[in-house]
Amino acid sequence: MSIHDLYLLSPEISLAALGALLILVDLVVKRKGILPALAVLGLIVPLAFSISLWSDLAGDNTTHLPGLFNAMVVDHFSLFLKFVLLAAVVVVILASTEYVKKIQRFQAEYFALILFSATGMMLLASTTELITIYISLELTALPIAALAAFRRDSRSTEAGLKFLILSAISSAVLLYGMVIVYGFTGTTSLAAIANQISQMTLTSGTPFGSNALLFGIVLIIAGFGFKIASVPFQMWAPDVYEGSPTPITAFLSVASKTAGFAVILRVFYVAFPLDTLSLDWGALFAVLSALSMTLGNLVAIRQTNIKRMMGYSTVAHAGYILMGLAAVSARASGGEAALGPSGVLFYLGGFAATNLAAFTVIIAVSNRIKSHEIDDYAGVGRRAPLLAAVLTLSMLSLIGLPPGVGFWAKIYLFGAAVNTGLGWLVVIGVVNSVVSAYYYLRVVKAMYLSEPQSDVKISFGFPMRLAVGVSFAATLFFGLYPTPLLNLARTAAGALIS
Amino acid sequence: MPEAAAWLILFLPLASFLLISIVIRPTLGSASQLAGYVTILAVGASFVLSLVALFSTVASDGHIAYPLHDWFSAGEFNFAVGILMDPLTAVMLVVVTGVSLMVQIYSIGYMHGDRGYTRYYASMSLFTMAMLGLVLANNLLQIFVFWELVGLGSYLLIGFWFDRPSAAAAAKKAFIITRFADFGLLLAILYLFFNGDTFRAADLNPFVITDIYHAIDLGIISVGVAQWVALGIFAGAMGKSAQFPLHTWLPDAMEGPTPVSALIHAATMVTAGVFLVARFFPLFEISPVAMNVVALIGGITAIFAASMGLVSNDIKRVLAYSTVSQLGYMMLALGVGAYGAAIFHLFTHAFFKALLFLGSGNVNHATGTFDMRYMGGLRKFMPWTYATFLIGSLSLSGIFPLSGFWSKDEILAHAFDSGDPVGGLVFLLALIAVFMTAFYMFRALFMTFNGDFKGGAEADPDAPTHGGGLHLGESPAVMLWPLLILAVPAVLIGFVANPLTDLGVVPIHWMSEFLHSNPALHNLHSGAPEFNKSLAAFSSAVALAGILLAYMMYQVKVISPEVVGRMFRPLYVLLSRKYYFDELYEDILVRRVFYGSVAYAFDWFDRSVVDALARLIGWFGANAGSALRQLQTGQLQTYGMAISIGILIIFGAFLFVRG
């Protein structure tokens, strides 16, 4: 390990250090109010390091900066995801301030745990080696289990314990898959795995000779499927979403999902490229995509609790994003190769902005009305016109309607799928987004068309305003002018292809 | 005309919308009079620019080429925005901005004192902007964006009085039904996406409309492709233009403020469908199937909607059915290839229908109700409104020599001359619609303005709260002038814009020729058919017969409507229940089939099967002394089980596929 490795890891190191710092400061400072402010300001450091790394890549004309004995790499792909993750963390911390004030105890730990988990996620975006992937994944999951149980009432505890146990099961499954892949190829480095597999194909003449390796890959898909809450590994999501503190729900649905897709893209594009495998995992992702969209949307229709509804909605969105992974078979030709992964990255960025905008409003409103029932959102349009407008536009964006960025995200992703001959999947996707309008608009309907239970205006503090403002501004800006985000996503996806 | 000026037509109402919602409403309060003036100024300036656009389009032989601007591109997907300025665009611009301007002026009086005054004008600006964006767009995706914005604007305006449950429900209904239809448009876009390679091979962009025209010229688009794309587009148009069987939202949309109805039903939202078909007319032209579908749906809609207008007692609903029926007329015209006649009718219809709606607004202002059974005798109290309403009714009924006569006649002549069975059939349908139109319009006129006054809002148990109750008398000047101004084109524009002889300033058949000068249109036989005197006389006689029947039933009362109603009791009920379409959609399709079965089944599965499994396994777990026993359910095991089963299924599927 060299100094250069430290530099490559600097965003993660500074993020973890910030978490540790918060706990230390908490010991000496009486006014806990400065903790979130310190956390948000401190996030400038990892952001600055990430920007510096990005400019190194641009300056030296190198696309990859490998480090830590090739266990990780800094490239446009990982940095793009780090930007998305950092932005999400900022919004989640801002949105947590009021909430945390009410818990009184363990305030610093709350923020530190978020930062530790985010550290794991950022590592996930960079890792290129199975064991590092596993460790990062655990670092991501364990703090979330603690955070989910943070409220310490029965629902919250249940959510935390459920997440912990199911996450352990899925890790076990994943680890088992990794072991099989290792046993088959004799290496844990992703690039070397691909190399081994291709050589086997050449020597033995049977493409992808053993079912054992196939089984390993299926287990890996199952392990990752848990992280992104894809069918049939989605069952934990609604329970945990409902039980967790709402900011943590937002964190789970945005950051955790982003990291999950990051590692899936990395593993499958680097270790199991399609041209060396006769196994079309694109088709598998297509089926999972169709199932996730359909099940998520249909069950969401009947939900009465908005957090649970958003839980199923996240499952549905995992389905949409999986479409981008399914759209892999065009890899042969140069320009179109990056369409699938860039669609995934673009969607992740857009989804992060939109979903955070929606969640911040839900946090702000639910803090006041003390309920997560959709029926209790009655009259929010009159009690908080701005919040209601933001939530309405976010819901439209989640459906895939302009002017939010969700519109372009869906268009681009559906376009990528069409280009790879997945017309049937796109039809399912379009039908699903129409169906989803039903339950998203139900919230809008409740806000505007039902009589409010009280006429008290819903007020909220400055950090909350900032959280809503930032996420909503991003949703609207990229909705009206998607080019910058799209270009970033394309550059990032390019790093994965080459 | 420089490109910047053309963009300004779009950006002025947008600026007005932003100014009102960001500056005026937060700082000056929600009742600021300024909002109305800003909107009128912006739309007025757009109107002037639209006239300039029309003249410069005429001067440059029907086509001004503006460059495309790359908005973003992804791989081979390129989204380039631009303005398509052709005769259709120019005419539509004038219609949209002209009618919108009159409506905005009128609204100053009608919306006076409403607590949502600024919100109203902000929504109106947004809505006008969306419609203008749609008309100007030179890219299918651009069209789609503004198309959806039009939907959003109508949602906001129809549900303007959202504290009224019926208004809220109507807004939702309009939004959902048009959204449902937009599906077709989306599929058409996807279809072009699929077939994009052939376009790109010829260096064309599959979404740019002028490139689609080129592709048709070059023969790149086969009849099969054109047919599906055209039908998809038509599905979207059916929703917005409220064509049978997606017409149910429009009469309910009368819940919005009356000027909104005037705007939506005369110049903007509902004509968007007709516009869209006209915009892609070259695609429809090469597919006989698509043309016949358009003609038949149009013809059916024309009489279907008119028949419901025969029995409605709500003056605005009568006008709404009339609008649906007239839109059917325009579709029918497009379907038989009468492109010029259809747009010509859209043009004349915009003026007299806006006039009629605003007139009904005045009537409501005076009586506080829309129910014609509680009106009567209003001629004495509001002579100006009566006079203009009469002009509008005559024009709509197609009485010589008012505007409606010329455009309706051209459509009939086209259908008559087309010579194929579909043309003949829709000619008959159109003729029946002429009779019905004349009847229901004059039924409404007699019930409203003649006879004795029957009490207005005070007698009507269901009178809405808005309108301020009963104060008989003529409306204020600001609500009369727009009517008087609109009455002029309602009388003259039919003859002046498309004269039968050379008027000196205006050449013969000027409008049809101008519209047909679009180079993208090929297969059109001729600009306008010969004026057929006997046909015109015949159709006029049919219209007069309708008026006469109305006169006998509602004026001199030789025939009692009650007796007629009793004689045809089942038919009367069928019509007044709107052919039971609302019941079909809401009770059967939405509630029972979708919500009751599909969604319920999945939820049931989640609740019953999964939970039952959970309990079962939980019981196992409890008996095995699981450490998790305290956690009330055994669901965790289910989830673990599901993961395992999922893995096995995926693995099995792979083995199966690989053989």
User: Is the model's pLDDT at A325 over the cut of 50?
Assistant: yes
**What does the pLDDT average to over A244-259?**
92
| Mean pLDDT to the nearest integer, A404-428 | 88
Residue B602 to residue A298, Cβ atoms within 8 A: yes
Give how far the C-alpha of residue A19 lies from the chain's centroid of Cα atoms, to the nearest Å: 21
State the pLDDT confidence band at B590, using cuts at 50, 70 and 90: low
Residues of chain B with pLDDT > 90, as a percent, come to 1
* A457 SS3 class: coil
Structure tokens at B345: 């009718």
What are the tens digits of pLDDT across the range B484-497? 888 888 788 777 77
* pLDDT value of residue B630: 37
**Distance (Å, rounded) from C-alpha B369 to C-alpha B360?**
10
What average pLDDT score do residues A304-333 get?
83
Percent of chain A with pLDDT over 70: 94
Peptide bond preceding B401: is omega within 30 degrees of 0, i.e. cis?
Answer: yes
**Chain B residue whose CA is closest to A399:** B179
**What pLDDT is recorded for position B464?**
58
pLDDT band, very low/low/confident/very high, at B610 (cuts 50, 70, 90): low
Cβ distance of B75 and A482 shorter than 8 Å: no
Alpha carbon distance A285, A177 (integer Å):
17
* Interface-testing mutation among B628, B639, B656, with chain A (most A C-beta atoms within 10 A): B639
Q: Which residues contact B168 (CB under 8 A, 6 or more apart)?
A: A445, A448, A449, B159, B162
For position B629, what pLDDT does the model report?
35
ipTM higher than the 0.90 cut = no
By C-alpha distance, the chain A residue nearest B73 is A483
Smallest Cα–Cα separation from B14: which of B43, B37, B35?
B43
Listed ranges B167-181, B336-350, B512-526, B596-610; the one with the highest mean pLDDT: B336-350
Establish if A389 touches chain B: CB-CB under 8 angstroms: no
Least confident residue range of B12-26, B55-69, B162-176, B605-619: B605-619
Average pLDDT, chain A: 87
Check: CB of residue A350 under 8 Å from CB of residue A409.
Answer: yes
Strands B77-81 and B69-74, by their bridges, are antiparallel
Q: Which residues contact B220 (CB under 8 A, 6 or more apart)?
A: B198, B199, B202, B204
- Locate the chain B residue with the closest alpha carbon to A235: B639
Decide which of A42 and B264 is more confident: A42
Please report the sign of the dihedral spanned by the C-alpha atoms of residue A68, residue A74, residue A77, residue A83.
positive
Task: Quote the CA–CA distance of A256 and A310 in Å, as a whole number.
Answer: 15
Chain segment B57-105, per-residue pLDDT in tens: 888 877 788 888 877 766 666 778 888 888 888 888 988 898 888 888 8
User: Taking CB atoms and an 8 Å cutoff, what residues of chain A touch B176?
Assistant: 437
Number of domains in chain A: 1
A332 pLDDT tier (thresholds 50, 70, 90) = very low
Domain for residue A327, yes or no? yes
- Residue B530 has a CB neighbour count (10 Å cut-off) of 10
- Mean pLDDT for A446-456 is 82
User: What are the E-state strand segments in B75-171?
Assistant: 77-81, 84-85
Provide the CB-side half-sphere exposure for B83 (13 A, CA).
26
Q: What is the pLDDT of residues B213-244, one digit of tens each?
A: 888 877 777 777 788 888 888 888 888 887 87
pLDDT at site A346: 94
What is the rounded average pLDDT of the residues B539-550? 81
**Window from A3-12, A100-109, B340-349, B453-462 with minimum mean pLDDT:** B453-462
Residue A301 belongs to domain spanning: 281-498
Evaluate whether residue A181 is within a structural domain: no
Residue B162 token pair: 């959202």
Q: How close is the nearest chain B Cα to the Cα of A471, in Å?
A: 19
Q: Residue B243 in 3-state DSSP?
A: coil
Q: What percent of chain B has pLDDT over 70?
A: 82
pLDDT of residue A406: 92
Chain A positions touching B632 (Cβ under 8 A) are: 158
Nearest to B544 by CA among B448, B447, B443, B434: B434
**pLDDT tens sequence across B387-416:** 888 888 888 888 877 888 888 888 888 888
Contact criterion met (CB below 8 Å) for B162 and A448: yes
Confidence of residue A227 (pLDDT cuts 50, 70, 90): confident
Q: Output the pLDDT for position B289.
A: 86
The answer to whether the beta carbons of residues A359 and A468 sit under 8 Å apart is no
Does residue A37 fall inside a structural domain? no
Q: Which residues of A touch B148 (CB under 8 A)?
A: 401-402
Q: What is the pLDDT of residues A266-299, one digit of tens each?
A: 998 888 877 666 567 788 888 899 999 988 888 8
Is residue A420 in a domain?
yes
Check pLDDT > 80 for residue B621.
no
pLDDT of residue A123: 94
pLDDT score of B361? 84
Least confident of A271-280, B23-32, B165-174: A271-280
pLDDT of B245 reads 76
> Cβ A339–B649 below 8 Å, yes or no?
no
Prior bond to B245 cis, omega within 30?
Answer: yes
Q: Give chain A positions within 8 Å (CB) of B190.
A: 414, 418, 423, 426, 430
**Does residue B152 have a pLDDT over 50?**
yes
Question: In this structure, what DSSP letter does residue B585 have?
Answer: I
Which residue in chain A has the smallest CA separation from B182? A434
pLDDT at residue B471 greater than cutoff 70: yes
Neighbour-count burial for B382-421, b at 16+ CB within 10 Å, e otherwise: bebbbbbbbbbbbbbbbbbebbbbbbbbbbbbbbbbbeee
| Residue A426 in domain | yes
Window 274-313 of A: residues touching B by CB (8 A cutoff) are: 278-279, 283-284, 287, 295, 298-299, 301-302
pLDDT for residue B3: 83
Q: Which of residues 161-200 of B touch A (CB under 8 A)?
A: 162, 165, 168, 172, 176, 179-180, 183, 186-187, 190, 193-194
What is the rounded average pLDDT of the residues B429-450? 85
Is residue A384 included in any domain, yes or no? Answer: yes
Q: Look at A124 and B241; give whichever has higher pLDDT.
A: A124
Mean pLDDT, range A436-453, rounded to an integer: 86
Question: B29 CB near a chain A CB, below 8 Å?
Answer: no
Contact call for residues B50 and B1 (beta carbons, < 8 A): no
Between B457 and A53, the more confident residue is A53
For testing contact with chain A, the best of B602, B609, B626 (most A CBs within 10 A):
B602
- Identify the residue among B632, B650, B658 best suited for mutation to test binding to A, counting A beta carbons within 10 A and taking the highest: B650
**In the structure, what pLDDT confidence band is assigned to residue A45 with cuts at 50, 70 and 90?**
very high
Q: Is B400 left (phi over 0), alpha (psi -120 to 50) or beta?
A: beta
Task: Please tell me if residue B604 touches chain A, with a CB cutoff of 8 Å.
Answer: no
pLDDT for A277 equals 62
Q: Which residues contact A263 (CB under 8 A, 6 or more apart)?
A: A124, A125, A127, A133, A136, A137, A224, A227
Closest to B191 measured CA to CA, from B227, B215, B143 = B227
Length of chain B: 659
What are residue B208's DSSP bridge partners?
A: B139
**Contact (CB<8Å) B193/A415:** yes
Q: φ and ψ at B81, to 5 degrees?
A: -95, 155
Q: Which tens digits make up the pLDDT trace of A58-97? A: 766 677 788 878 888 999 999 999 999 999 999 999 999 8
- To the nearest whole Å, the CA of A219 is away from the closest chain B CA by 7
**pLDDT at site A279:** 65
Q: Is any Cβ of chain A less than 8 angstroms from the Cβ of B598?
A: yes
Helix axes B635-658, A281-301, angle to 10 degrees: 140
Range in A158-167, A237-246, B146-155 with the lowest mean pLDDT:
B146-155
In a domain, A349, yes or no: yes
Selected residue with higher pLDDT from A270 and B581: A270
The HSE-up count of residue B499 (CA atoms within 13 Å, CB side) is 10
pLDDT tens, position by position, B131-145 = 999 999 888 888 888
Report CB contact under 8 Å: B631, A161.
yes
pLDDT of residue B48: 92
Please name the member of A214, A232, A401 whose beta carbon is closest to the beta carbon of B654.
A214
**pLDDT bucket at B184, cuts 50 / 70 / 90:** confident
In B307-464, where do the E strands start and end? none
pLDDT band with cut points at 50, 70 and 90 for residue B640: confident
Q: Running DSSP on this structure, what letter comes out for residue B72?
A: E
pLDDT at B524: 59
Residue B99 has which token pair?
Answer: 């009618």
Q: Which residues of A touch B651 (CB under 8 A)?
A: 214-215, 218
B645/A contact by beta carbon, under 8 A: yes
Contact B638 A235 (CB under 8 A): yes
A382 touches chain B (CB under 8 A): no
Write the single-letter amino acid at A313. Answer: S
Contacts of B199 in chain A (CB under 8 A): none
Please tell me the predicted confidence (pLDDT) of residue B588: 60
Q: Chain A: nearest CA to B608, how far in angstroms?
A: 13
Over residues B35-44, the pLDDT tens digits come to: 888 888 899 9
- A48 in contact with B at a CB cutoff of 8 Å? no
Is the C-alpha dihedral spanning B470, B472, B473, B475 positive or negative? positive
State yes or no: pLDDT of A358 exceeds 90.
yes
What's the average model confidence in pLDDT over B12-28?
Answer: 81
* A173, A235, A430: residue with CB nearest B639: A235
In whole angstroms, give the CA distance from residue B603 to residue B369: 45
Q: Is the pLDDT of residue B626 over 50?
A: no
pLDDT higher than threshold 70 for residue A4 = yes
Chain position carrying tokens 């050379």? B502
Does B266 or A372 have the greater pLDDT score?
A372
Per the listing, tokens 């269901």 go with B462
| B470 Cα distance to chain centroid | 32
Residue A226 lies in a domain: no
For chain B, give the mean pLDDT: 78
Preceding peptide of B421 cis, ω within 30°: no
On whether the CB atoms of residues B401 and B499 are closer than 8 A, the answer is no
Chain A residues lying within 8 Å of B600, measured CB to CB? 302
**Residue A235 contacts B where some CB pair is shorter than 8 Å:** yes
Residue A435: predicted pLDDT: 82
Helix/strand/coil (H/E/C) assignment for every residue in A102-162: HHCCCHHHHHHHHHHHHHHHHHHHHECEHHHHHHHHHHHHHHHHHHHCCCCCHHHHHHHHH
Beta carbons within 10 angstroms of residue B619's beta carbon: 11
Closest alpha carbon within chain A to B78: A412
Q: How far is A446 from chain B (nearest CA, A)?
A: 11
Better-predicted residue by pLDDT, B189 or A479:
A479
pLDDT of B577 > 70? The answer is no
Contact B650 A222 (CB under 8 A): yes
Peptide bond preceding A403: is omega within 30 degrees of 0, i.e. cis? yes
Structural element, H or E, at residue B344: helix B339-367
- pLDDT of amino acid A207: 45
Per-window interface: B 200-239 vs A, CB < 8 A: none
Cα separation, A44 vs A63, in Å, equals 24
